[in-house]
Structure 1
Amino acid sequence: MKNLHHSAILAMAFMILFSSCASDDDDYRSIPAQNILESRIAELYGSNAALIQPLATDYSLIPNDENNPITQAKVILGKLLFHETGLAMNPNVDDGMHTYSCASCHHAKAGFQSGILQGIGEGGMGFGITGEGRFKNSLYLEEDLDVQPIRTPTALNVAYQDVMLWNGQFGATGTNEGTEANWTVGTPKEVNNLGFEGVETQAIAGLEVHRLLIDEDFILNSDYKDLFDEAFSNVDVSERYSKLNAGLAIAAYERTLLPNQAPFQQWLNGNTNAMNEEETFGAILFFGVANCYSCHSGPALNGMDFYALGMNDLAGENIMTTIDDATKRGRGGFTGNAEDDYKFKTPQLYNLKDVTFFGHGGSFQTIKDVISYKNNAIAENQNVPVSQIPEMFTPLNLDDAQVDAITAFIENALYDSNLQRYVPSELPSGNCFPNADTVSSQDMGCD
C-alpha cells in the first residue's frame, strides 16, 4: 500500500509538471503540486508546522539544553567568542598565535563548515573568497597542524542534534546514554561527564582541542569582561571568566544558527511563491518515492541515527594527516561495538551549495553526486563489510529528471542566502576573523 501511495503521488506530480502536453479535452482535474506536497507533509508530520524552524531570537522555541538555557546575553558573547582570533593563544607553533578561531573551520561563507576538503585551524593560511583558499603553512610539520581527519560538520542546525560529530562522541544524554564507559579520562570525551548535551560538550571540549585559550587577563582587560558579567551574572566572579562558561556561551550562539530564511522554510510559512516548480517536484519526491525523509527529517532534515553507506574516508595527495582507524570506524570507533563500525551520523541538509565536498570523507563533489550515489546504491568503500550496509541502501530507480529535481530542492530550496546575519561586524579585540594570518588578512581586506 505504501508503494502504491507513493506511486500515486508521483503520478500526480508528473501530471502537474507536464500538463502543458495535455489537450483541453482531457477528462481529469489536476491537483496543484503544492497541495500534493502539503498533503504529504501533513500525512507524515501532522502539518507544515512540524518542519518550521523558529526565529533565531525565539529562544524558548529553539531546542535548549536544560543545563544551559539560551539567553540573549549568552548569544551575543558566544557570537564574538566563536569568531575571536584573539583566543588563539595556545598554538603549537609561535607563528600560529592569534591567527585562528572556531570560525576557521565553521564560517558563514561555507554554510558554517569548512570551505576546503580538510579543515585547518592552527597551521592554516589564507581564505580566498568562501574559504576555498585556505592552505597549509609551510612552516608546520604534520604533527603540529590542527586539521580534521574527517569532513568538518556544519554548525548549522546543531540545536536539532543531541550528540555531535560524525561518530556522535560528544553529548551525555539521549543518544549517548549507555556509552559512559567510553568517556575516556584524559581525552576530550571526558567532557561528557559534565552532563551537557552534545552542542555544549563539543563547544567546551573544542576550545582546548583547537588550542584556544580563555585567558582571564585577556577578558578582564577588554570588552569581554562586561559581556561575561551580563551572560553569567549568576556565577560567582571567581568562576565566571572560565573555559566552561565560554563554551556554554558559544553553544548558545550555535543553537541559534538556523537557516530559517531558506525558500522551503518560507514555503512552510505560507509563501506559495518561494519554490519553483522543479523544486516543488523535488520536495514531493524527497518526502515520497525517494524515501529521503526516512533518514532526513524534522526542521533540520537530519537524523540521530548512524548508518554505514559505504562512503570513502578522506584520502588523496592533499590530505594533511593520517586518517586513524577509529575515525574510519565511525560510531564504532567511539562505542567500541563492532555492530557500530563504519556507521556515521545522518547530516542536516541545509546550505550545502557553498561547498564542493560531501560525505564524511568528502568523496563527492556535488549534491547531485550524493543523490546519484544513493540512487544507484553501490558502495564505493570496499573496506566496509557488506554485512554493515543497511537493507534500506538499495537502488531507488529514479530517472535523471527525478534526480535533478531532488538536487534542485536540496541545493536551492534549502539554501539560506543570508547567513551573514549571524556574523559580527567586528570583534572587541579588533582582530581580523575568521582567520588573522597575513594571507587571510589580505584575502579579506582587513589588513
Structure 2
Amino acid sequence: MGQLLFYDPILSGNRNISCATCHHHDTFSADGLSLGIGEGGQGIGPKRRVAEGGIVKRVPRNAPGLWNVGATEFTTFFHDGRVSETAVYGTGYDSPAEEWLPQGLPNLLTVQALFPLTAQFEMAGNVGENEVIGAVSDRIDLGWPILAKRVRTIPAYGEALTEAFGLESPEDVRIEHIAIALADFMNSEWRSLDAPYDLWLAGEGALTPAQERGRALFFGKGDCASCHSGPLFTDHDFHAIALPPFGPGRTRRWDPIPRDVGRMAETDDLDDAYRFRTPFLRNVTLTAPYGHNGAYPTLAGIIRHHADPVQGLADWRPEMARLPETPWLAAIDFVIHDDRAEMARVASKLDIAPVGLSDGDIADLVAFMSALEGGQSKYGRLGIPDSVPSGLEVER
C-alpha cells in the first residue's frame, strides 16, 4: 500500500503531484534539481517544467534522497530538524503541527511523511484551488482528514488498509494509517548497505587505490568524519558551512527577507543561525546537486567548498544552480546576494575550519564517495507501480 500511495497523486490537493514527483526511482529517490517545483510543474527530475506564470514560488530547499531514512539513528527530519521527538505537545513529537499532530504515530518517519501533503508549494496547492489547501490555511491538521477520506473511499485502498491494520471497516482508515504505510515503504524501498565500502569492511572486497587514498583523507587529514560519522555517514547534528544562499529560503514567520536561517527558524536560537542538518553520504554519488539548497552540481564542487567555505561562497556563481526555467522568478531567485549584511552573516557563521586539499585530494575523496554507492539496492525493491488505485497517472 505504501508503494501505491507514494506514487498516487490522490494525496495532493489538486490530484496532480505524488510523493514520487520529488523522490522518484528514476532519480534515485531525489529529483536532480537544486530547488524543485511542486504544484504547477509537469514532468519529473531535471525535465520538470512549469508553464508561464504557473508558480509563485519554488520549493525553498533541495529534495534529499531517502536512503536509509527508516534507521532508528535518525532523531530529526528536514534540513532544519523541524520534526523531532519531544514530550511538550503530548503527541511524542515536535513538528509544525504542534499539539494538533495526530496521535498514535509510531516513529519519526511517519510524522515526516505527513508534512509534504500540507505544504502549499509542494503538494497541497495554492489557496483557492482545492479543499485541502483551504482547510490547511485554517489550521495545518485540517487537511489530513480530507486526504484520508479520498483514500479510504477508493475500494482497493479502503479494503487493503482495513485488513492491514485490523480495522473494522474502511470508515476507520485515518491519515495515521496512510502515514505508516508511506513510512514502511520508504524504510524498505531505500535501504542501502551493500556498497563496496561495506564489502571492504566485511573483508569481502577491496577498494581501488583512489578509493583507499580517499578513505584515508576522509578519516584523516580531510576531517570529513568529524561530521559525517557512523554507518550512515552523518552525526545527525546541525552545522553552518556558508553555503551560497538563493531562492525563497525558509525563515521565521515574521521575517520578510527571502533568506534561509536554517535551524534557527525552528529553535529561535541565534546560535543556530545558518546551521543545517548534516546530510548522510550513502548513495551521495546518485543524488546531485548538493547542499541544503542544491548549490553545487558536483561532488568535487561541494568538497572544494568544505575545504575553504569563505572562498567557495565568494567564487560561487548563479549558473551553478539547477533551477527549472522560470523567468518571472529570476528577479528574486538571487536577490539575497545584493544584501551585503546578510551575505556577511552567512560568511561569518562557520562550524568547520579550512583544510588544505589539492585537486588530487578532492578527486580521491570523490572516488571514496563512489565506494559508498549501493549495489542492487540503489534501484529499490518494489520500484515504480504500473498503475495506482485512484486511476490517476503514474509519473514516469
How does the TM-score come out when normalised to structure 1? 0.66
Structure 2 counterpart of 1:408? 367
2:264 is the alignment partner of 1:348: no
Answer yes or no: is the 8 Å Cα contact 2:35–2:63 preserved in 1.
yes
- 2:193 corresponds to which of 252, 260, 280: 260
State the number of aligned residues. 330
Structure 1 counterpart of 2:74? 161
Gaps of 5+ in 1: 1-76, 92-97, 316-321, 436-443
Instruction: Give the partner amino acid of 2:84.
Output: G
Superposed displacement of residue 324, structure 1: 4.5
2:61 is the alignment partner of 1:150: yes
Gaps of 5+ in 2: 125-131, 133-145, 253-258, 315-342
Structure 1 counterpart of 2:228? 296
Answer yes or no: is the 8 Å Cα contact 2:162–2:168 preserved in 1.
no
Structure 2 counterpart of 1:388? 349
- Aligned partner of residue 171 in structure 1, secondary structure: strand
Superposition pairs of residues 26-37 of structure 1, within 5 angstroms: none
| Structure-2 change in CA distance of 1:246 and 1:192 (3 Å) | same
Superposed displacement of residue 398, structure 1: 2.4
Between structure 1 and structure 2, the one with the greater Rg is 1
Structure 1 counterpart of 2:5? 81
Distance 1:81 1:220 in 2: 14
Answer yes or no: is the 8 Å Cα contact 2:102–2:176 preserved in 1.
no
CA-to-partner distance for each residue in 1:72-93, whole Å, 9 max, x for gaps? xxxxx222211112333x22xx
Answer yes or no: is the 8 Å Cα contact 1:232–1:240 preserved in 2.
no
| Structure-2 change in CA distance of 1:239 and 1:220 (3 Å) | closer
| Structure-2 change in CA distance of 1:166 and 1:218 (3 Å) | closer
Structure 2 counterpart of 1:120? 37
Instruction: Give the partner amino acid of 1:226.
Output: E
Superposition pairs of residues 73-112 of structure 1, within 5 angstroms: 77-88=1-12, 90-91=13-14, 98-112=15-29
- 1:427 corresponds to which of 384, 387, 390: 387
Superposed displacement of residue 328, structure 1: 0.7
RMSD of aligned residue pairs (Cα, Å): 2.9
Instruction: Give the partner amino acid of 1:132.
Output: P
2:50 is the alignment partner of 1:136: yes
Superposed displacement of residue 409, structure 1: 1.2
Answer yes or no: is the 8 Å Cα contact 2:262–2:274 preserved in 1.
yes
Superposed displacement of residue 389, structure 1: 1.4
Answer yes or no: is the 8 Å Cα contact 1:125–1:135 preserved in 2.
yes
How does the TM-score come out when normalised to structure 2? 0.74
Superposed displacement of residue 179, structure 1: 9.6
Distance 2:171 2:268 in 1: 36
CA-to-partner distance for each residue in 1:370-415, whole Å, 9 max, x for gaps? 111112242617343565312xx22222222221111111135434
Answer yes or no: is the 8 Å Cα contact 1:222–1:428 preserved in 2.
no
Answer yes or no: is the 8 Å Cα contact 1:171–1:199 preserved in 2.
no
Instruction: Give the partner amino acid of 1:82.
Output: F
Distance 2:346 2:39 in 1: 36
Superposed displacement of residue 420, structure 1: 3.8
- Aligned partner of residue 328 in structure 1, secondary structure: coil
Superposed displacement of residue 155, structure 1: 1.8
Instruction: Give the partner amino acid of 1:164.
Output: F
2:212 is the alignment partner of 1:286: no
- 1:241 corresponds to which of 173, 180, 199: 173
